[in-house]
Every structure is written in structure tokens, then in C-alpha cells.
Amino acid sequence: MTRRHSFHCLLTCLFSAAGCATYSSYRCPEPIGEIVRQECDDYRLRYESLAAKVKFSIGSVSIGAEVGSEKLRDPSELIQVMMQRMLALCHDFNACRVDSRDYQRRREEADQAFTAVMAVLEQLKNPSLTPPERQRMLGELLAILKGGPAQAPAPAPDKTPEKKPSDREFSEGFFRDSTGYWYESKLRPPQPPPAQPGVPAMLEATASKNGNFYSHLFVRFFGKAEADDQFFVTPPGKEELRCELSAARKEPEVTANCNLEKHKLPFGPLRLAARYFVGAKEQSFELRAIALDPRTAGTSAWLAFQPDPVRKDPITRERPWLLVTLVSSQHPSVTARCFENGKPVLQDGAAVLKANGFPAGAYGSPVKRVSIPLPYVVPYPEDSPEGEDLWSRHAGEWRCKVSVDGEPYQEVRFKVKSDGSLEAHPDQQGRPGNVASPWWLLDTRDITEKNAG
């Protein structure tokens, strides 16, 4: 039986570089105030693992070989620098030398760089890469590890025009990732009208966990916020909490961070009232309740269109990604077998599609999101790239069987129209109260052994 997803029960995840450890609250001197101390050794373990993966992936490429305009340095040195930088940041945060907002911003930048490295490593596994393609990817890898734009090969004299700053391979200090929102796709689903003028649309609610209790609630909005806007939540039977509201630097996106620690709310089904105060109007607006339930979080699946490659500027094409939410305390292997009008979808001749990179998960929470790229592209802008398999040629009924560690987990169904857009889910028709998201909501069915048949 197909289950229709309700946004009110959605629990998704923010990207984390530190895994699932236990955290404790601590009150710093003002103006920093209360923080949740971090387990800094988790960064060491993560970056040591990354160093091993990078060293394995570059294989026979010699340290000191020319990559673009630079020599390839030992990646272990660069990763060591990244690790030490994050360890220092973590210790500074725990010692009250960095406030929560600055720590979160710098940690998210590091998380995005980490994801970018993993994406390049996945591409380097492709045995069909030509030497120039492999050299370009090594240049991208070197650029990410150094924390700057990619180094391009020197142009031939009088043949290749000089690149403008806007044509850099990367936007400095900013990396997209495959589970992040991108708002400029040509194939966005219908959007509901604003609940109230001046109030950004609520996209998702996410939560972190400390032991058996909720630690922090994160709410993401699409739109803009002014410095005197405020956001509040009220747990059942508790006093109202004011959340820290901050606008993203490069996207029309606002995030709210709500500290739930003092209320000792058991990690499980939870419903919170929410209101948004618009400073310009000096007026509050009640929002729909935020409902969290880790038990049902694994029912959600989405189709997201992202730039391809995800981090490249300027954007020349998009790629559809299947995003699946699951509940697991581990980092499982997630795969999918997809069928287009009954015909298997192949990636490099194989019928099994693999998840890309690490799952995205909030601190301490077993709820994770994984991303699986589909082997087709959408031109961006319209001119068709030669030799590409275009998404619009694959209209019809789609069915994907998702497996976790080889065991059946979920069946996902959707319909692709002739223009490449999807037939919108009943909860995503653009009507008031419908799901607001740049991703397409999909129908899902649980096919785990206990529910099969």
C-alpha cells in the first residue's frame, strides 16, 4: 500500500562532520551563553579516514606530478591542516572562545568541503575517465583540500580567452552538496502561496539528540529575514522558547536554532507550536505545528535537481538525484534498482545505482538522508549538450527499489512528464498548506521483510 507523506511528520537531517556522539550543555560567560559542548576527537577520526581514502583514490599518480599549474602535494599534509583547523575550532568552542553562530557557520563550511572531497573521490573511481578528465578532477581535489578555487590548466597562447572571475570552477568559500537545497532549478515543483506577507515559507524541521533527549531543533525557511524578526516554539506543557534566527549568506534561506536541552524532551514523537514575529510589522503570525517522529522519518523520499557537477560554476546542466531518508545508527550501504516503464535503468552498464558520499545526519540522531544520482542530465540553459543522455527522453512511470546493506528497504514511485518535470504529489500541488520545497515529494512503500507481502 502506498503511503502519502505528510510534511508535518518529516524529520530530516543537517550535515554533520562529527558523527553520533554524546554532548552536554554548558553555560559560557555572556554574551556567548549556553552551548552544547562537542566531542572533538570525532573530527580526528573522520579526517584520518578521509586521508586514507584520498591516498588510495589517487593511486599511481605520483606526488609532485603536475596538476594544472601546480605540483600535486601529498594529500595527507593538506588533510592534516584541515583536521588541525577543525580540532582548534572545536576546542575554542568548548572553551567559550567562539560563539555558537560562528562555530556553526565554520563547521558547515568544513562539512561542505568534506562532502565535496567525497564526491570527487567517487568520480575518480570511474575506470573510463580519460587522462585529461582525471587531471581536471585531481585539480578539483587539490583546490578543495587547499580551501580555494580549482586550479585550471594554463590556456594555450592566443586560443583560449582569459576566464572571468565569475567563471571560476568554484565559488570561493562556498560548496553545494547533493543533499542541500538549490533554488534555481528549471524543474521546481509547484510552491504554495506565502502563509503571510513577510513570513518565509517553512521548508523542514530537523533535530539533534543528546542521550535519550532532544538537544536542538533546527528549522529551515525559504525567504528573507530582517535583523529584528523572531521565531518561537512551544513544546507541550512547557514555556515558549525564542530561537536563534540567522539568514544564509548566499541563498534566500533562513535557519532557526532552538535549544531544547533544559526541557528534557524524550527523543520520540514531539509536536511543537510555532510562531514567527515580523519586525517590520511588529506583528506575530502563528505557523503550522512542527511534528517530529523518528519512527516515521524513514518514510520520506524526494527527487532533487542539482547542478552537475554539484559544485561547478557556471552551471551548464542539472542532474536528478533520488534522496532517501532512513533510520540507522550506522553508516549503511544504500543502493537502488530503478525501472523506467518497466525497463532497468543502467549506470555504466550496471543496474545497481549507488548512494553518493556519506549520509547526512544531525548530531546524535539516527535519522539520515542519502543521495543517489540518476544517470541522466538536464541542459542548463536550454542548448543540449552533445553526447549526453537527456532526462526528458525518459518520460513515463518510474519505480525504484531501495536496499540498505543489501536488504529491501523501500519502493519509490513517480511519473516523469515529457518536459522533464514530475507529476506533482497530492501534498505538493501549490495549494495553501501544501509542502513548500524545491524538491519533488515522492510516493513510498515500505518493503522491509517484516512488512513485505
DSSP per-residue codes, 133-181: HHHHHHHHHHHHHHTSPPPPPPPPTTTSPPPPGGG-SS-TT----TTS-
What's the chain's average pLDDT? 79
Greatest CA separation for the chain:
72
3-state secondary structure of 94: helix
Most confident listed range (59-68, 225-234, 295-304)? 225-234
In angstroms, the CA 401 to CA 407 distance is: 10
In angstroms, the CA 55 to CA 301 distance is: 34
Supply the pLDDT for residue 75.
64
- The residue ranges of every structural domain in the chain are 7-15+187-292, 24-167, 297-446
Higher pLDDT, 261 or 56: 261
pLDDT, tens digit, 9 for 90 and up, residues 406-435: 999 999 999 999 999 999 999 999 998 899
In angstroms, the CA 177 to CA 170 distance is: 13
Identify the CATH class of 7-15+187-292.
Answer: mainly beta
Supply the pLDDT for residue 387.
60
In angstroms, the CA 168 to CA 173 distance is: 12
With vertex at residue 176, the alpha carbon angle to CA 175 and CA 178, rounded to the nearest 5 degrees, is 140
In angstroms, the CA 318 to CA 43 distance is: 32
- Residue 103 confidence class, pLDDT cut points 50, 70, 90: confident
For residues 344 and 302, the answer to whether their CB atoms sit within 8 Å is: no
Query: In CATH terms, are 7-15+187-292 and 297-446 the same topology?
Result: yes
Supply the pLDDT for residue 8.
35
Q: Using the predicted structure, report yes or no on whether residue 169 has a pLDDT greater than 70.
A: no
Closest CA to 185 of 193, 176, 174: 176
CATH number of 297-446: 2.60.40.10
In angstroms, the CA 424 to CA 429 distance is: 6
For residues 34 and 27, the answer to whether their CB atoms sit within 8 Å is: yes
